[in-house]
Structure 1
Amino acid sequence: MTTSIPSASYPPPPRQTANPAPVRPANSLRRTSSIDVAWPDGPEGERLFVGRARDYLTGPDGSGHTLATGEFSLRMTEDKTITRIAADPAPATIGQLVGARAGGHLRMALREIMPELIAQADPLYLVLDDLSGTALVSSFAWGQWYPERMDLLRERLGAEDGASALAQRANVCWGLQEGNSGVSGTAALDKVADADAGNLRNAADPEGWHQFLEHEGPGFRRARRIDVTRDGGLIRIASAFQDSAKLREGGRVAIHEYNLAATVDAETLEVLSLAPEARILPFRECPGAVHNVARLVGRNLGQVREDVLEMLRGPEGCTHLNDALRALADVPRLVEELRQPA
């Protein structure tokens, strides 16, 4: 059951990035992924999505090499319909995603069309699985690049339609429970994103991230990092998740950022501890979602994708934190890769 606290009693939402990423630890495997969204044909044209993921093995002396990569490029209409897609390496069934919509049913379609990617914990699957969430949030980028367009949209909606639009979001997640500031209209919506996203790449560790898409104009990015190490009978995990957008004056602003630390029994894959940390979130109620994550302690890490959807659904969780948790299902496979010689 959710436990609601009067909205006014919450402190301000967190607004401090943990970036840059730490230097890769010795004897570790780092999975990084990103989806960059651009509008090469202007605001009325199709969106361009470029997803990239990489597994990088680091040896005892700090040197390392790439184990696996996955990349896709696709176009998507305003209603989130995929009109064309290419991938490298390309599964034979990748073309079947043309015509699919990046909504709640896309993950089901991925399970049906390319189950081998899930079974192999392929890095390409992670960015394909992230499409729905990225498509939903990426319009945030326009409000940062062209704030005047958002003002015009609010004027067109008017007070009544604007209130109706807010009400439709009620109970989709912990932070947007009925009565909370992001639903009631008491939050200053022009202030929900004022945190510097920082630089993902650490200057002391240039190989710590893969290469991102560089482009002109507005842009959105969802980025993930998962560091995995072995410590005797324990698997130690340190991960990070961030949604950010480009600013017209330069730099980036973040709207969602979590860090997540976990320990797992290396033999049974039982989750022994989970410690999420809210770094940047839009509304003051949002950080409360971290407390329900404790429900996953004692569960099997390999089943975390299904457990999250069952146990942290709707107002029981945060969709962005849920995505960060679901990505940990690939860690058992990453541990196997970690046993390879560097």
Structure 2
Amino acid sequence: MVQLTAGGTPPALFGVAARLPARRPSSARRTSDLQVTPHPTWDQDLLVRAAARDAVVDGHGRLTETASARLSAVLDNGSVLSRLTAPLPRSVVEAVTGHPTVSGFRAGLRALADAGLPPDSLDAALLDDLPTVRLVSGYGRIAELGEPPRPRPTPLVGVCTGWAADGTAHRLSQTGGHLLSRTPEAPDFPAMLDHPADFHLEHPSRSSSMHRRRILEVAAQGQELAIYEYFRDSHVDRDGREGSLHEYELHAVADRDSLVLSAITVTPRALPFPECPLASGNVHALLGTSLRAADSEVKARLPGTLGCTHLSDVLRFLRFVEPLGARIAGGGD
């Protein structure tokens, strides 16, 4: 059963972000974007274009790019990675091409470290997002094509807070109601940045597409690391209107040596169902854990209806705090 607030209603969202924080001195940041377009329809092939960048910021606020990555891919209607174009070792491309980007795909990526795909690399980060592409595209399909007015199978029930039994999504799926209402308008992303260099040169938005953007910043704060993360999945409709579908901001503090979390808060800004924000209140379960084990700890401590599939993607991305923190030269207070 969905757990509501004391007033009997799900917690409110905070509204889409209009402005993102300026980059901090003595910090390192990883940014990425992933665009999914149907080819020719959402039920058939999906075209994926993705890019990412690592950068360091010195004590005076000057940003220097340290690494970048780009890839393009095609997923068929069975989520099989049928084509991958990226400047990767041939052995890596051959190992992942022709395989479903579903359960086991991420474990397969981790096994390719010796083949030339370091787990902390930008390439690995982009490939790690591929298992979510079919799920993300499902929202694009619903937004553009709607759903037939009849009860539908509900294989997602129990997978996350938003799909809890007896929740809004479950009830609508049983009654044949339209799952998605109009998404809140998403501000033009470049206009949200304090400075154009705060994000890499991303792929231009296309009509009838889904677009994922991420920012992870790690800043020196004495013997601690101050962590900021932004995540937005948006849908661009046929008319070019971009709506925010899943949007989170995260603030956290971790010990610089052990990477143990001492503070973490998540702000849910835009989510598809009223119950979705409930998952954000459960992130305290990660306090006292090390970000070196972020992947396994998120799975163990926020399973099923305690978590959210997209929030888990946000939290799993914290595994990159360690390599980013290692690149910070300063130790400001």
With the length of structure 2 as denominator, give the TM-score of the two structures. 0.89
**Counterpart mapping for 1:40-59 below 5 A:** 40-43=39-42, 45-59=44-58
Q: CA deviation at 1:15?
A: 6.3
Q: Distance in 2 between matches of 1:110 and 1:30?
A: 23
Q: Which residue of 2 aligns with 1:297?
A: 287
Q: CA deviation at 1:109?
A: 1.5
Q: Which amino acid aligns with 1:199?
A: D
Q: CA deviation at 1:190?
A: 5.4
Give the direction of change, closer, same or farther, for the CA distance of 1:103–1:212 in structure 2 (3 Å limit). same
Q: CA deviation at 1:138?
A: 1.7
Give the structure with the larger helix fraction. 1
Give the direction of change, closer, same or farther, for the CA distance of 1:171–1:266 in structure 2 (3 Å limit). same
Q: For the Cα contact (< 8 Å) 2:21–2:193, is it kept in 1?
A: no
Give the direction of change, closer, same or farther, for the CA distance of 1:301–1:183 in structure 2 (3 Å limit). same
Q: For the Cα contact (< 8 Å) 1:181–1:187, is it kept in 2?
A: no
Give the direction of change, closer, same or farther, for the CA distance of 1:38–1:296 in structure 2 (3 Å limit). same
Q: For the Cα contact (< 8 Å) 1:13–1:286, is it kept in 2?
A: no
**Counterpart mapping for 1:53-202 below 5 A:** 53-90=52-89, 92-114=91-113, 121-144=120-143, 147=144, 149-150=145-146, 153-155=147-149, 159-160=150-151, 162=152, 165=153, 167-185=154-172, 189=178, 191-201=180-190, 202=192
Q: Distance in 2 between matches of 1:118 and 1:9?
A: 48
Q: Distance in 1 between matches of 2:193 and 2:278?
A: 33
Q: Which residue of 2 aligns with 1:18?
A: 17
Q: Which amino acid aligns with 2:161?
A: W
Q: Which amino acid aligns with 2:112?
A: I
Give the direction of change, closer, same or farther, for the CA distance of 1:176–1:255 in structure 2 (3 Å limit). same
Q: For the Cα contact (< 8 Å) 2:208–2:236, is it kept in 1?
A: yes
Q: Which amino acid aligns with 2:30?
A: R
Q: Distance in 2 between matches of 1:288 and 1:338?
A: 34
Q: Which residue of 2 aligns with 1:333?
A: 323
Q: Which residue of 1 aligns with 2:232?
A: 242
Stretch moving more, 7-16 or 243-252: 7-16
Unaligned runs of 5+ in 1: none
Q: Which residue of 1 aligns with 2:196?
A: 206
Q: CA deviation at 1:169?
A: 2.0
Stretch moving more, 74-83 or 216-225: 216-225
- RMSD (Å), alpha carbons: 2.7
Q: Which amino acid aligns with 1:57?
A: V
Q: Which residue of 1 aligns with 2:276?
A: 286
The CA deviation string for residues 106-144 of structure 1, in whole angstroms up to 9 with x for no partner, is 112212234677755111211111111232112322344
With the length of structure 1 as denominator, give the TM-score of the two structures. 0.87
Q: CA deviation at 1:188?
A: 6.0
Give the direction of change, closer, same or farther, for the CA distance of 1:20–1:187 in structure 2 (3 Å limit). farther
Q: Distance in 1 between matches of 2:171 and 2:155?
A: 11
Q: Which amino acid aligns with 1:80?
A: S
Q: CA deviation at 1:231?
A: 0.7
Q: Distance in 1 between matches of 2:118 and 2:290?
A: 16
- How many residues matched? 328
Q: CA deviation at 1:203?
A: 5.4
The CA deviation string for residues 124-180 of structure 1, in whole angstroms up to 9 with x for no partner, is 211111111232112322344xx3x32xx415xxx24x2xx2x33211111211111
1:34 match: secondary structure? strand
Q: CA deviation at 1:328?
A: 0.5
